[in-house]
Every structure is written in C-alpha cells, then in structure tokens.
Amino acid sequence: MTDRTPPLTGKGNDVSEKPDLAKVDAAAPAAGDGGERRDGRGSRQGEALVEVRAIGKRYGNIIALSDVSTVVRAGEVTCVLGDNGAGKSTFIKILAGAHSHSDGTMVVSGEEKELSSPREALDLGIATVYQDLAVVSLMPVWRNFFLGSELTKGLGPIRRLDIPTMKRIAKAELAAMGIDLRDVDQPIGTLSGGERQCVAIARAVYFGAKVLILDEPTAALGVKQSGVVLKYIAAARDRGLGVVFITHNPHHAYPVGDRFLILRRGKSMGDFPKAELALDDLVSMMAGGAELASLVHELERSEAGADIAAEMQVDP
Amino acid sequence: MATAIAVDERVARTSTLTRVMKRPEVGALSAAIVIFVFFALTTDVFATGRGASTWLQQASTVGIMAVAVALLMIGGEFDLSAGAITGFTGLVVGVLTREYGVNIFAAILISLALALLIGAVNGVLVMKTGLPSFIVTLGTFFVLQGIDLAGTKALIGQVAIQGMSKVPYYDQAKTVFGSTPLTIDGGGIYVSVFWWLGVTAVATWVLLRTRAGNWIFAVGGAVTAARQVGVPVFRTKVGLFMTTAGAGWLVGMLLLFRTSTVQSNTGVGQEFIYIICAVVGGCLMTGGYGSAIGAALGALIYGMVNQGIVYAGWDNNWLKAFLGVMLLGAVLLNEWVRKRAETSR
C-alpha cells in the first residue's frame, strides 16, 4: 500500500493508496548515510538506470546528433553541457521519449528500449522538467503539485478532492526536498523562479520518477536562485534519483555533477567522470579550446579587437 | 480542514475577514448589498415580497447562465451562442409539441440532446481548429438565430409559439420549470430561483472540490502546462461548452413554462449580459480565475437593477449605461485583486 506506483496516468488514485507520510518524514534525514538512501523505487545506489551507446538522431538528411554515449546512475548527476545548437535538446528529447533515436542503442534499467512517446518514458520512470515548468501560476502550490493526478475520496457523485491530505503531502514532500514553504495555499506565481523549479522537481520525484531530466533549470535565474536550484538537484540525487542536468554553464554543472557529457555541433566531445576532469578543462572544452585560441588570434589583428583579445587571454 | 495541517508559525494568523476579502466574489457581494439597500430605501415596492418575486425571477434565469458562462470563462473560453440557445431549446419544445403532437417530456429531452450536441460542436470546433472561441461561437450564434427565426417561420408560419398550456401534461412540466412553490409576503418565489441556487451550489462544489474543477482552472490558467501534467484538456473544454449549452436548455425550459409562450428572438442579446455578470462576479477575461457564486451575485445585481429602475420610475434604458459602468469597474477591480492574489501571501 505504501508502494509508489506512478499515478501519472491522469486517473485518480483512491485515498487508500496514498503514500505513507511517516515514511516520507522518517526517510528524509537518512539521505546522508550512503547505501541506505531512500528511494522506494527499487533502484540501488550507482545502478545504471539509463545508458545510451553511440546514440544518434537524423532528421532526413540532417544529422542532429551522432555517436553519443553516456550513463545515468541512481544517486548521480549526469551533466549534459553544450552551447546553443550543440544537440542538447535533441539528446533530451530522445531520453524523454519525444523523439526516438535513429542510431545506436538505449538501455533503460537493463533492457534495450526505443521510446516512442513521453508517456512511455514516464511509465519507465523518466520524468522531464521543462523550462516552462508546467505550472499554473494563479493556482495554489498544492493544487499545482497534484494537478492531473489529484487525490480523491468518496465515490460516485460525492467523489471529491482530498484536500487536507494533498496539502499535507505537498508540504512534506517539499520539505523533504529542502523547500520550506510558509503556506502551500499561496498561488505558485508568488514563488521565486528557483522555488517554482523546485516544486516541479519535487512533483516529479513524488510521482515516481527514477530518472529526472532537467532542461536548463538555471538558464533564466540569477546567481543566488541558481544556487538554490543546484541545492535541490543535489537533494534529488541524495534521494537516489538519477539526474540528467542540461546546462550551458560549466560553473553550475561542476559542483553537482558526477559525470559530464560535452556536446558540440551534434557530436560528443567526451563523456567524463568527475575524477578525470578538472573545472578548468571543462570550461575550456565548453568554450571549444582550439577555436577560442584562433578567435583570440583573429581579434589581435584589428586594433579594436586587441583589447578584447587581451582580456580573453586573462580570463578564459 | 485547518486541524489536519500543521500551521506554520511564520504565517501570521489571518483573520477570517482578511481571507474573505481575497475571494473573487467580494466585489460583487458588496455591490449587491449597496444596490439592495439603495432601492429598498428609494422605492416602496422593491423590498416587498411582490417586488422581490420579480427581480429574483429575472436574476435567476440570467444567473443560471452566468454561472455556466463563468465556468467556461474560468476554463479560458467564451460562448456567444449561450443566449440564442435559450430561445432555440424553447422553440424546439414548442414546435414539437404544438405542431407535431410529440409528448411534452419527450420533446424536453430531445431539446436537451440538441443543446448538448450544439455545445459539443462548439467545443470540438474550438479545440480542433484552434480558433478563438469568440469567433466560433459567434458563428453558431448567428446560425442559431437564423434557425430560430427562419426555421420556426417555415415550420409553423409565425415567429412565436403560444398556447403551450393546451399541450397534454403541460401542468406537470410546469411544476418542474414554471411554478411558484413558495409564497413570501404575497410574492411568489418562482421555481427558477431554486434551480439557480442549485446550479450555483453544484458549480461551486465542482470548481473547488473536484478534480474536474481543478482541471477547469488549469486549462484556463495555463493550457500547455495542464497538458504536460496529463490534464485531459480536450475533454475538459468540450465538457464546459456542453455545460453552458445544457444550462441554456434549462433556462429555455424555465422561460417557456413560466410564460407558456416563446418568441423566436428569445435570448438574443443576452449573451453579453451573462459575460458581464461573470466578470462582475470576479471572472478574469483571460481565464484561470473566477467564481460561480460571484457570477450568481453578478446576476442578482443585474436583476435588482433591471427591476429597481422600473420601480424608481426611471427610463429603462439607463440599465445599459449602468451595466457598462459595472463591467468597466469590475474589470479594473478584478485586475487589482488578481495582482494581489499573485503577490500577497
């Protein structure tokens, strides 16, 4: 009864199936002690949840992505980095089931899969939090949290929302993610961008995600808010989820990442565990190392560009 | 409810008054009270049983539609055919019973089925074409208006149906739709008033306490987001259009059995009144926010002013000017309330 089957189908789950709250509360502080991480999803720490091998995507004669390999493990953060047009969105669309891949193999929980719809991905426990967050800003936090998967009680014409339970779960789940809300009744539009992001993450976690794909969650945020989101990414990781963190900012990726996949022009520039990659390497790979050097050279030839080039050499 | 949730110590205890002030229907409620007091003091008949009987009756039929239209507006859509359908359903029953001798209850059910069909057509057209509902329902409005006039004339040779009371079982149907079960102070309270209260109560329950209500707010507030989290957007919106059309049928029946006549142009021009009542009751034109009780209060204001002007002996046309002012004032107030709802804790 306390099993969390993903109720994302849009059908109501009876109140008798509601997850045991005591478990949520008791499990949250256990996040620190290694192998005993709370997941309730049956995935072991470090287990490969999703693995892609030499995966690629062609749209007609356009090769959007080719030869990309990486792995997403339970309790780890896999960062996907790349500039605009590097193939990041194609990559997440494959993982999220929005597009199926045309080359290579994708292995989900040990089984080879080709995802044909986001629904299928969700059923496998792969949830995606898009940049627009899928929240309705005039609705209260708790209504947003359960939107599309509301808990109900009673039968027939008196079947109604189980409001106290939903409020309690929303508050507890957000608290477990480290989001301490004053009041879950406030419209979600009153939260900051970072907090809204976190509600979306907490919602995906609650509804049974094993793998969480975050599409540029820090792109529109200021420095402080980005820090808040990074904290929640770490919290999701510590709860035993495999996190795919898409970003173009190496400074955001490095502190939370366990593995880094760098994409450029639709190709993989490499897939490194953190131990093999220093932040400086990551930054220079992102910027495109050799290309940057030639740009500096080019700028030096014009008088106006010389100053910029000098600055670029100081601050890579 | 409050006992089940641990109250956070950082939330200052808000007084019941403050919480009530944040509800979308507050503006309409205060306006309704002011208007009632005004006409009660300035006219003799207004606050008597006979007076109330009249303005409650007018408020009730407009109110049923306003509540349905409010749900639709919260869901982010408009229905300009809502007025014409009240005439259409009445004419269907009238023509079927008077001209073709169809059993009155069968005719009532047939007109309900037709109304729901029209609502479904509105909804499916809006959803499939992606066109604004304003345009689609403007189209159905004109189609219905044309059918009401030309169709009725072609079938029975005139533009009004009279003598409904001669139809067998008319009295039984009148008990349901056109009677005055309660008499207060010499004024009969029409059964439509109880329908109005019932519709408002059910709509409020659905909006605030059911999954469908959650979906209505969501599809009106952010349709893409709603779709992404698995809300059945198509079903919700088509259901709303059908609800509005169903309410149109109910009002059609209430009008038909109260007067035992129906004109071909019944309801034409009323569609904007419904929208005004919904907006006065706190609905945002942009969707995602509003209240059924508010819309019912908006209709109450309409009924009171409509009749109060008559009792006061003023020119009836002042009603239009008043409605315009109310609409503008309500839109401004709603915007302000919405901003407060989005920013205040």
- ipTM at complex level: 0.81
* Distance set, CA B206 to CA A151, B74, B211, B215 (Å): 15, 13, 8, 10
Q: With respect to residue B169, please indicate whether it lies within any of the assigned structural domains.
A: yes
CA distance B287 to B328: 17
* Chain B residues closer than 8 Å to A167 by CB: 4-5
pLDDT of residue B10: 55
What's the average model confidence in pLDDT over B171-189? 86
Domains identified in chain B, total number = 1
Domain that includes residue B308, residue range: 25-40+48-330
> Chain B contacts of A130, Cβ < 8 Å?
228
User: Which residue has better confidence, A151 or B230?
Assistant: A151
Burial (0-12, 13-18, 19+ Cβ within 10 Å), B180:
middle
Confidence at residue B129, expressed as pLDDT on a 0 to 100 scale: 94
CATH number of the domain at B123, please: 1.10.3470
Element (H, E) at A108: strand A103-108
Interchain contact A270–B (C-beta under 8 A): no
Using CA atoms, how far apart are residues A104 and A55, in angstroms rounded to an integer?
4
pLDDT of residue A147: 87
Closest CB to A186: pick one of B215, B288, B345.
Answer: B345
Round to whole Å and give the CA distance between B35 and B37: 5
Options 3.40.50.300, 1.25.40.10, 3.90.550.10, 3.40.50.2000; which CATH number does A13-277 get? 3.40.50.300
In a domain, B157, yes or no: yes
What is the pLDDT at residue A27? Answer: 36
Locate the chain A residue with the closest alpha carbon to B290: A138
3-state secondary structure of A216: coil
Residue of A nearest to B22 (CA): A186
Task: Please spell the DSSP secondary structure of A147-191, one letter per residue.
Answer: TTS-EEES-GGG-EE-HHHHHHHHHHHHHHTT---S-TTSBGGGS
CA-based nearest distance A185→chain B, Å: 9
Per-residue model confidence as pLDDT tens for chain A (316 residues): 334 444 433 333 333 333 443 333 333 333 333 333 334 455 677 788 888 888 888 888 888 888 888 999 998 999 998 887 788 888 888 888 888 888 888 888 888 888 877 778 888 888 888 777 778 888 889 998 998 888 888 888 888 899 999 999 998 888 877 777 778 888 888 887 778 888 888 888 888 788 989 888 887 777 777 888 888 888 888 888 899 999 888 888 888 889 899 888 888 888 888 877 777 777 777 766 556 666 667 777 776 667 766 766 655 4
Buried b / exposed e across A246-270, counting CB within 10 Å, b at 16+? bbbebebbbebbbbbbbbbebbbbb
Cβ contact, residue pair B342, A138, below 8 Å: yes
In DSSP terms, A80 is beta-bridged to A246, A261
Interface size A-B, in CB pairs within 8 Å, comes to: 97
Q: pLDDT value at position B136?
A: 95
The predicted structure's pLDDT at residue A288: 62
Q: What is the mean pLDDT of residues B260-286?
A: 90
Q: Which residue type is seen at B137?
A: T
Taking a C-beta distance cutoff of 8 angstroms, is the pair A200, A134 a contact?
A: yes
Report yes or no on B10 lying in a domain.
no
**Residue numbers in A near B213 (CB within 8 A):** 161
Nearest by CB to residue B229, choosing from A134, A165, A186, is A134
Residue pair B56/B303 in contact (Cβ under 8 Å)? The answer is yes
Q: What type of residue sits at position B57? A: Q
What are the CA-CA distances from residue A135 to residues A191, A309, B49, B160 (Å)? 11, 44, 49, 51
Tell me whether residue B340 is in a domain. Answer: no
Give the pLDDT score at A289.
Answer: 57
Q: Which of B274, B333, B306, B287 is nearest to B28 (CA)?
A: B333
- Pair A215, A130: CB distance under 8 Å: yes
Q: Is the pLDDT of residue B311 over 50?
A: yes
Task: Note the pLDDT tens digit of each residue in B4-42.
Answer: 445 555 555 556 666 666 677 888 898 899 999 999 999
Q: What pLDDT is stored for residue B18 in this prediction?
A: 65
Q: Hey, what are B181's tokens?
A: 């079960």
pLDDT 10s digits, B199-225: 999 999 999 999 999 999 999 988 888
For B61-108, write each residue's pLDDT tens digit: 999 999 999 999 999 999 999 999 999 999 999 999 988 989 999 999
Residue B289 pLDDT greater than 70, yes or no? yes
B188, part of any domain: yes
How high does pLDDT run on average in chain B? Answer: 88
What values do phi and psi take at B232, rounded to 5?
-75, 90
Residue in the block written with tokens 């029953």: B93
At A95 the pLDDT is 87
pLDDT band of residue B255 (cuts 50, 70, 90) is very high
Residues of B with CB under 8 A from a CB of A: 1, 4-6, 8, 10-11, 205, 209-211, 213-215, 217-218, 221-222, 224-226, 228-232, 288-289, 338, 341-345
Q: Is the pTM of this model over 0.80?
A: no
Confidence of residue B265 (pLDDT cuts 50, 70, 90): confident
Nearest in space to B283 (alpha carbons), one of B335, B321, B248, B234: B335
